[in-house]
Amino acid sequence: MKSLWDSAAGLLLITGFLLGVGLPLGKIASAAGVHAMVWSFIISLGAGGILLCVLLARRQRFRMTAHRLRYFLIAAAISYALPNLVVFSIIPKVGAGYTGIMYTLSPVVTLAFSLLLGMQRPNALGMVGIAVGFAGAAMVAATRGEAAQPADPVWVAFGLLIPVLLAAGNIYRTIDWPADTGPTELAVGSHLASAAMLLAGIVLLPGLSAFAPLADVPGATLAQVVAAAAMFAFYFRLQAVGGPVYLSQISYVAAAVALFAGTLFLGEHYRWETWLGAVIVVIGVAITTRAQRAVLREQAAS
């Protein structure tokens, strides 16, 4: 029997749950006046700092080479700093649950990028899955967030950057993964690089006074740091075990957690079209996943 650390399905569930928990926590922080850039910084600093302590406690070295530095900077920008800025900027406008649905497009966009870059051979089933996923996304986008307060279309369009950035990160981390480097080391370097970028942005834009509202949400801040540190440890392991397309499916679990948490605990309400669109997206991703498995079986047989 596989251990959890070697089980792609187990890693998927845990990583997706921890990712989904962060969305309602982000809405709580936003309601307290915490700037999106500050909350994103807290996530990266907390995750990178805690995982660095874990690395050192295991007496493992944190090594720096030109390749690793490049990897840390690029992965930090497109996988963490920019997506988190978008996520926590739009949550107050469209809701935590709706933002979670944006995550569900990540597997479809990841597969589309894989096909465009020649990392995977196109097949009819995969193309159908992409088409279905985008049809569901169009339906979700048309509802524009919570039922009682539809968001400006600009915020909805801005939110669509989330799956694009996540997909780009999934692809990049796979094709440029440094040799002889473990997932924890990559998580540490990428998050500390992300924290440095975000801190520079905070100093230049809202200023250090933007940290003050964190004092009003100490519980949410601590919960977010712990969840982020745990999530990213599993996240990089899942990348190594499952690959980029399988990894991107954490979005389903995250979206489900965010939707139900937003509805049950944050008083969010969504139109039936939003829920139907989310279901159609999941169907599209299920089709692309089946297509992915068929390709992998063909590659194994050849």
Q: What is the mean pLDDT of each run of 10 residues along the chain (302 residues)?
A: 70 87 93 96 92 86 88 95 95 89 81 81 78 82 78 88 92 88 86 96 95 96 90 79 73 82 85 85 79 70 68
Query: Residue 147: is it exposed, middle or buried by C-beta count within 10 angstroms (0-12/13-18/19+)?
Result: middle
Round to whole Å and give the CA distance between 48 and 38. Answer: 15
- Overall size of the chain counted in residues: 302
Give the distance from CA 42 to its chain's centroid. 16
- pLDDT-above-90 percentage for the chain: 34
Kindly report the pTM of this predicted structure.
Answer: 0.84
The pLDDT score that the predictor gives to residue 1 is: 42
Closest CA to 178 of 78, 81, 52, 62: 62
The three-class DSSP label of residue 178 is: coil
> What does the DSSP 8-state code read for residue 4?
G
